[in-house]
A and B are shown apart, each in its own frame.
Chain A
Amino acid sequence: MKPSTLIVFYLWKDTWKRWCEQPGSPAARLFVTGLLVLVATVILTAFQLVERSLRERLESFGLNTLVVRRAVTPDSSAFFRHGTAPDDLAILAPSGRKLRLRQLFVRGQTEWEENNLLVLTYPPEALPMLAEILSPQTTAICVSDSLPENAQLRVRISHRSVVSSVARPPQWLRSLAQGDFLLVPQGWLDEEERLGWLETTVFQRGPTAAPMEQIIAAVKALSSAEQRPAPQMQSALPLLRELDELHRRHQQWRGVLAGILGAAVSLVYGAIAVLEFRQNLFVGALLRSFGASAWLLYFRQWLENAALANLAAIGAIFLIVLLRQTIFGTLGFPGELLAASDANLQATDALITILVWINVGAFLSSLPVAAGLRQPVGEILN
């Protein structure tokens, strides 16, 4: 056998014997690393899930969508029940696609009482934009993600009944409401419009238009110039800011946790490595006196620390993957979000960062041994 094989075989035997004689030594290292990795992974994965949830909301709303709402009451100048009311946001028309709707102050009810629908009316000029969801049977549309598509659905509004066709919401209409809603032509619900409505404008910014911040500022400036109350505006900007802030905190936490992990592993493993190195000082020196390389002895220590640290880390990560529904469900994350995140929970940047820093810690922890191995054999073996 080659000398290096013989030495490696001997060192492995020596390590195994040490573990068997003092099981607390590897167990302490496994436990500390496993616990730290468990906590760090849960925190970083939670950040990732929150980010994912925000991204989903952002995707659903649309990055280039702006919804402007303004209350129109019977006593306001914009209260035109018949004919076309003047469009306050006409300046937006060249910058993208725009749909004016009226959100009524009544709600529609399906045959199943629990399904309560928001009711909006659309003007005749909106028909081309709604063509993709219109049905040949009726011009009333129940926009829903959950009800069966193309089903004919009877909706009761006040004392009248409307038959609508169920359609899936196109992306640009998702920003209008979180749940299902009903679109009916203007004039169908004359009585209900008497109470007033929320003038709701869905605007989709075109690719060459000014940035959304400038568009929002222009709408505000216009309202101010015309001495109208500022409209309620809903865009993706707050979500984007929230996402940026979350991302920044995620990076901060990742750095802090990685530092803590690396420091803890290097301190705990380093302390144990120094103690065990002293216990085996004479055997190490004897091997060196035979001509065994000090590098090989150092490599043994590094390999032992790295193997234990990685074993503990992978074990902890595996445990999280196994119990993710329970752990993150308990922390309040919805099941659908967890199911969607299953695939990438195991191989994320966060886990790679953790593993890198665990290994940095394992490397640092073996440096005192490298320093110890510089002591001349003649000073050890007396």
Chain B
Amino acid sequence: MDCLDISFRYKPDRPWVLERFRHTFRPGVTLVRGASGCGKSTLLRLVAGFLEPQQGRIITPLGTAPTDIGFQRRALGFVFQQLNLLPLASVQRNLALAGSLAGLPAEQIADNSGHWLRVLGLEPYAKRLPQSLSGGQQQRAAIARALVRDPVVLLLDEPTSGLDDLNARVIVRALEQFVTGNRICVVSSHDTRLEILANETLDFNRFLPLERHLEALV
């Protein structure tokens, strides 16, 4: 997964969030670290094709741009910081919908769902609606929803933010199981509990125009 000199800003009159960023994401886990506002989430959304860079280009392992609907449907798994589950569908139905959109056959969706629900400790909650789950359960369900698609590229934006150690350990274990072979996993987080996963760490603080006045406050 190649990022070739990409630059991005949200509005023309705003400063660049990413400027001439160049990096190749290799199979394994890449941990993107950095303080809030340094552009970690923006990078993930660019790599997912949910945003488009103003300059440069990104090439996915399929050889397409990430905005390609085929890549997004079949090769991408994304876990957002918040709101990852469809509120009116049960956990199982959320997983089935995600797997179905990825073009997986029904048997594989059932197998994958059963597996990841078990690994993430969600079997008892499979028939429940997201609103009846705790924050940790919802986040685990969101990860299961991404994993059930069996994606080549898995992007996780602050997957353990606000979760206790037990939940974080379950998530780490699931990701360890998943990231094998040529799968690429990019995790944006400043959570040190995820460092154990990383094959590579990308420090994003270097892109950040640091708010020096905050240092004076502490």
Partners in one complex: yes
Seen from chain A, the residues whose Cβ lies within 8 Å of a Cβ on chain B are 1-3, 6-7, 10, 13-14, 17, 282-283, 286-287, 289-293, 376-379, 381-382
Q: Check if A3 sits within 8 Å of B100, measured CB to CB.
A: yes
Q: Check if A3 sits within 8 Å of B101, measured CB to CB.
A: yes
21 contacts between A and B (CB under 8 A): A1-B96, A1-B106, A3-B97, A3-B100, A10-B88, A10-B89, A10-B97, A13-B88, A13-B89, A17-B88, A283-B86, A286-B85, A287-B86, A290-B98, A291-B73, A291-B101, A376-B50, A378-B42, A378-B46, A378-B51, A381-B50
**Interface bits B79-113 vs A (CB < 8 Å: 1, else 0):** 01111111111000100111011110010000000
Write out the residue numbers on chain A whose beta carbons fall within 8 Å of the beta carbon of B85.
Answer: 286
Given contacts A6-B100, A292-B101, contact A376 B86 (CB under 8 A): no
In the complex, how many angstroms separate the beta carbon of A289 from the nearest chain B beta carbon? 6
Contacts A3-B103, A289-B50, A291-B73 known; 13 new A-B pairs at CB < 8 A: A1-B96, A6-B97, A13-B88, A17-B88, A289-B80, A290-B97, A291-B69, A291-B101, A376-B52, A377-B45, A379-B10, A381-B45, A381-B80
Interface check B78, CB cutoff 8 A = yes
Q: Check if A378 sits within 8 Å of B50, measured CB to CB.
A: yes
Docked pose: A3 CA to B149 CA in angstroms: 13
- Determine the residue in chain A with the shortest Cβ distance to B42: A378
Q: Check if B48 sits within 8 Å of A378, measured CB to CB.
A: yes
Interface check B72, CB cutoff 8 A = yes
Write out the residue numbers on chain A whose beta carbons fall within 8 Å of the beta carbon of B188.
Answer: none
Write out the residue numbers on chain B whose beta carbons fall within 8 Å of the beta carbon of A377.
Answer: 45, 50
Docked pose: A1 CA to B100 CA in angstroms: 8
Given contacts A378-B50, A381-B50, contact A286 B84 (CB under 8 A): yes
Q: Check if B52 sits within 8 Å of A382, measured CB to CB.
A: no
Seen from chain B, the residues whose Cβ lies within 8 Å of a Cβ on chain A are 10, 41-42, 45-46, 48, 50-52, 69, 72-74, 78, 80-89, 93, 96-98, 100-103, 106
Docked pose: A290 CA to B77 CA in angstroms: 8
In the complex, how many angstroms separate the beta carbon of B80 from the nearest chain A beta carbon? 5
Q: Check if A286 sits within 8 Å of B83, measured CB to CB.
A: yes
Docked pose: A13 CA to B80 CA in angstroms: 24
Among A2, A10, A292, A378, which residue has its beta carbon within 8 angstroms of that of B45?
A378
Docked pose: A193 CA to B78 CA in angstroms: 106
Write out the residue numbers on chain A whose beta carbons fall within 8 Å of the beta carbon of B73.
Answer: 290-291
In the complex, how many angstroms separate the beta carbon of A4 from the nearest chain B beta carbon? 9
Q: Chain A interface mostly helix, strand, loop or mixed? A: helix
Docked pose: A7 CA to B50 CA in angstroms: 20
Write out the residue numbers on chain B whose beta carbons fall within 8 Å of the beta carbon of A2.
Answer: 100
In the complex, how many angstroms separate the beta carbon of A230 from the nearest chain B beta carbon? 82
In the complex, how many angstroms separate the beta carbon of A99 from the nearest chain B beta carbon? 82
- Determine the residue in chain A with the shortest Cβ distance to B109: A1
Among B52, B69, B84, B86, chain A packs the most CB atoms within 10 A around the CB of: B86
Q: Check if B86 sits within 8 Å of A10, measured CB to CB.
A: yes
Docked pose: A6 CA to B85 CA in angstroms: 15
In the complex, how many angstroms separate the beta carbon of B7 from the nearest chain A beta carbon? 15
Write out the residue numbers on chain A whose beta carbons fall within 8 Å of the beta carbon of B88.
Answer: 10, 13-14, 17
Among B74, B80, B98, B103, chain A packs the most CB atoms within 10 A around the CB of: B80
In the complex, how many angstroms separate the beta carbon of B90 from the nearest chain A beta carbon? 11
Write out the residue numbers on chain A whose beta carbons fall within 8 Å of the beta carbon of B84.
Answer: 286
Write out the residue numbers on chain A whose beta carbons fall within 8 Å of the beta carbon of B48.
Answer: 289, 378
Docked pose: A2 CA to B82 CA in angstroms: 27
Write out the residue numbers on chain A whose beta carbons fall within 8 Å of the beta carbon of B52.
Answer: 376
Q: Check if A291 sits within 8 Å of B72, measured CB to CB.
A: yes
In the complex, how many angstroms separate the beta carbon of B192 from the nearest chain A beta carbon? 23
Write out the residue numbers on chain A whose beta carbons fall within 8 Å of the beta carbon of B81.
Answer: 382
Write out the residue numbers on chain B whose beta carbons fall within 8 Å of the beta carbon of A293.
Answer: 69
- Determine the residue in chain A with the shortest Cβ distance to B103: A3
Docked pose: A377 CA to B72 CA in angstroms: 12
Docked pose: A222 CA to B82 CA in angstroms: 96
Among B51, B80, B82, which residue has its beta carbon within 8 angstroms of that of A379?
B51
In the complex, how many angstroms separate the beta carbon of A317 from the nearest chain B beta carbon? 34
- Determine the residue in chain A with the shortest Cβ distance to B71: A291
